[in-house]
Structure 1
């Protein structure tokens, strides 16, 4: 999955900050992608009008034939990316809990288990309960990463936007 395809689900899942879209467009141009909206987006400063940035981004994806997933699909990608991030050691269990940024509908038993365990985290979880929760989350992540058809190349999302 290339950078722009990956960004589409991250955009819908609200884990890709708007101010990063102009630089993403610039990288896409360097990678060989090209469209009028992509060029215009790449020329904008990070702190440009968010509405303009979002409109150009969506237009660029359309011009390049990159579909924008619905919220349900984006949520699944988010779950799987968090599971892969944890399994690869790129994210901690707390990072996973912190990065669930949208209402996610799970479709498979493994997605449901991973989401359920991740949702059990709270800042009030006791120090004696934390290792068990972390182990359960890693186990659920492993089960999800070995069963999914979405693949490891979907990337790890950044921190949840405030």
Structure 2
């Protein structure tokens, strides 16, 4: 069920598109997780209506006792996951830039700084010198560490 919990959190954070939910449901079925709505969701094609996909996804989670988080909670979780992967060297800055969400006004200062630096990385890196790139990488790592050290 971890796959469905993970997908629910990523979906709530805006990192999984609705049209990808049937594939995630099929993967969960292949791992032995089962419910009527999950089977129906897995049978939908990528061209299915997003409202139908969302309804079945919500029903499948409810049938399996999985609570879907709110957007803020999910985005905070996602930022923390990315920060941890970056600090541990499991994720490059370029990979981070493809996965991170933009900063939002409700984020803490540390979250906003991390999201902002990561989200605009590709736009920025082509416009600055190599020493500035290294300095920006250090700033991004510092922002990631700040998230990991915040409560």
TM-score band, normalised by shorter chain: 0.7 to 0.9
How far has the Cα of 1:72 moved from its partner?
A: 1.6
2:137 aligned partner: 134
Q: What's the TM-score once normalised by structure 2's chain length?
A: 0.79
Distance 1:5 1:51 in 2: 20
Structure 1: runs of 5 or more not aligned? 150-162
Greater fraction helix: 2
Greater shift in the superposed pair: 69-78 or 112-121: 112-121
Greater shift in the superposed pair: 83-92 or 41-50: 83-92
How far has the Cα of 1:87 moved from its partner?
A: 2.5
Q: State the Cα RMSD in Å.
A: 2.5
Alignment of 1:2 with 2:2, yes or no, is yes
Correspondence list, 1:122-161, <5 A = 123-124=123-124, 126-127=128-129, 128-145=131-148, 147=149
1:91 aligned partner: 91
Q: What's the TM-score once normalised by structure 1's chain length?
A: 0.74
Higher RCO (CA 8 Å, separation ≥ 6 residues): 1
